[in-house]
Structure 1
Amino acid sequence: MSGVSTHKEAGNDAFRQGNYSDAIDHFTAGINENPENHVLYSNRSACHANLKNWKAALEDAQACVRHQPDGWAKGYSRLGAAHYGLGELNEALDAYRKSLAIEPTNEAIREQVAELEKSINPKSAENMANPFASLFGPHTFAKIQTNPRLSPFLAQQDYVNKINMLISNPSLCQGMMSDQRIMQTMLELMGVNAAAAPKEEPPRSSEAPRAKPEAPKAPPAPKDPSVLAKEAGNAHYKKREFEEALRCYDESISLDSANGSAYLNRTSVLFEQGKMEECEAELNALLDKYENKVIKTPDFVLLSKILTRKGEIHQRQGKYSSAIEFFQSALRENRNADTLKKLNACEKEKKETEAAAYIDPELSLEAKNRGNELFKLNEYPEAVQE
């Protein structure tokens, strides 16, 4: 294996474990040996994206696009994700469109393009109903920086990202007005001192309070690319298009390796394909991520689903006792009807299998011999069970 391949594999292993900084070091070492390897730039861009280092993610995505061969769409997908993280929606849309042109069957990219188009190009009636469109433009940051009441917000990255998104698409402001910083920013940009703004007078006793007109609804913010990739995988899974589903789940994980549900959905595909050993290995790796709090929302519901799937694997393999233990453990984490139904079915199948075994003379003799051995060891309850 060449040095570049060694660095790449080491980086991939670190990435799968959520060690993004280590992965970056490995990919960087590989790039130093081969500065034109587009895959290494792509992988390093994904690491930076997971660390929310969007500028670095963008630089690597741009390098990937420069070096990638014709017919390789992932570089543009990385470029779109980086622009999206920076709030540059128009640039993100352009990159995703180029990716889709190369790989028109990629449902995850197709959905991302549709979401961005819906967000960037809302209906004209919604544009007319938005009175704040003129507040956000090329000079917005300069105005914020010179405003002593707003400039402290620039130290907060989520605020900067939201302002970038509003500059790209001012129609999103209605959906962000619940953020008091954004509300204050709009008031300040309109020339209204939010701190000194007069409070609304209570209605006089002789007057009925007037109903406030409903604010026009803003188009929904585009979904996270990782979520869209996972949803595309779910659609393929329902159609039993397993290879396409795996590709989408892998894309979702590469965009956000802390997305626990994408890992779990991937094991569903492996289970349906009958790849039990590979499925259980991935479940064990997911358990490690859960215990080390690498994945998002490490709650008891996800743990219950992991244990339930392990129970299904052991039941499929005829390991009924361990399967029952996994189902029971899952129910202790989150009692739900689906797992309870699987536990009951497994217990029933275990009894039927054991009953059928005694009909077979050879199996009956084996059970008798096991019982005799247990009896000699004074393990009477176990001997009776055999």
Structure 2
Amino acid sequence: MDKAKILLDLQVNELKEKGNRALNANNFDEAIAAYTEAISLDNKNHVLYSNRSAAYAKANQFEKALEDAEQTIALNPTWWKGYSRKGAAEAGLLRFRAAMQSYQDGLKYDPSNAALIQGAEEITSLLIQNVTSNFNTPMDVDPQPHTAEPKKSEPPKPAEPNVDEMNEEERKKYLAKKEKEAGNAAYKKKDFDTALKHYHAALEEDPTDITFHNNIAAVYFERKQYDECIKECEKGIEVGRANRADFKLIAKAFARIGNSYRKLENYKQAKVYFEKAMSEHRTPEIKTSLSEVEAKIKEEERRAYINPELAEDEKEKGNELFKKGDYSGAVKHYSEAIKRNPDDPKLYSNRAACYTKLAAFDLGLKDCETCIKLDDKFIKGYIRKGKILQGMQKSSKASAAYLKALEIDPQNAEAIEGYRQCSISYQRSPEDVMKNALGDPEVQQILKDPAMRVILDQMQTDPKAAKEHLQNPAIADKIMKLIEAGIVQIH
């Protein structure tokens, strides 16, 4: 039984449930953070991406919702919910035709699914109303908010104001606004050259508006001209500060600088600017971006610290102190060696030996588990584990560890001796065994289980049956409990 895998699954499930509770309470930021942490532990779990997609969608972060929906489908192409998530995200982005296709793709796998059918019906009505519109609004270039087609009963739009009747300042701001609107229209069509011309023209008319700098920076970002994007945002921030711009616009500029540095893989600088954006205006999206780059920085630092040669030096220092009986000092050197070379199972085995001497059995056991996970053929890991479990008075589990060692090397003297000692510890009088069993409700419940009775009888008549039943984690756990109680013995 892979306890490390079980513990990991439990941790992932706890984070998923935490995210579900937050999502149900409309705490989208908390839900996204919980799902993100769960994904960092299990990035092959399609349900986690599906749940995070739902959280992003409810937080109106539809681009990210779409990315997670697509990842859900990639991991499980026949699961209807991935297509439902994708359709919802595309609908949120006003990509109605794409949303319709996603719902139809999902119905290929589950033709009677009510959620997919309802989604397709809703999109059908929206397509009829908006069939000639362009809904693919890139990034956040301050586009005009999407509204439904005006009803026939609505009054006609007011006539354009007369520029000749405006004063100089009003005229410039009006002309700047018209240039920005023309730039936004070109941006939506990905005609970036034309968009830049209009945004620069808007700046010439009104150089006090940070929005125009932000829009120019958005074009550079789309073109992957990240250095130019950063410079333009810096200009915009300077203009915004001087003209007391809305703090949300300044936060947007800082966040875009952060995203540019992230694209350049300069995560430390990205972190600086996401933090500046948060100081201006906290949003779930910026907080998530900050958490993601912090994780990148941590991983970079971990990788940069790895040095097998220095790890070997630290191991030798630890060995010297271990020989002298300075186990605490040895632990420090082995720990440093592990940081320098975290994939070497021998280092964990050595530190586990120190923890055993210090009677820190829980820490030693954890190192043994890591050691075995890194190399399941490393016999020393099982022997160390057996000795620690003996120290913890868990003879049956210690015996199982020694048996694993003997599977690798049947002649290993340490494993043979450890197993012999564990066998001796089982030799208690039947009266003592029964007394202990009757006092343990868990043991009584196992013995009353008809299925377990059959299994126990089978194990008595067929020695190979024990090994087969131990392959089932649930049965193995019950058998181990009976071994510890002395009711079952392995010979």
**Greater relative contact order (Cα 8 A, min sep 6): structure 1 or 2?**
1
TM over 0.5: no
Query: TM tier, shorter chain?
Result: 0.3 to 0.5
TM-score normalised by length of structure 1: 0.35
TM-score normalised by length of structure 2: 0.28
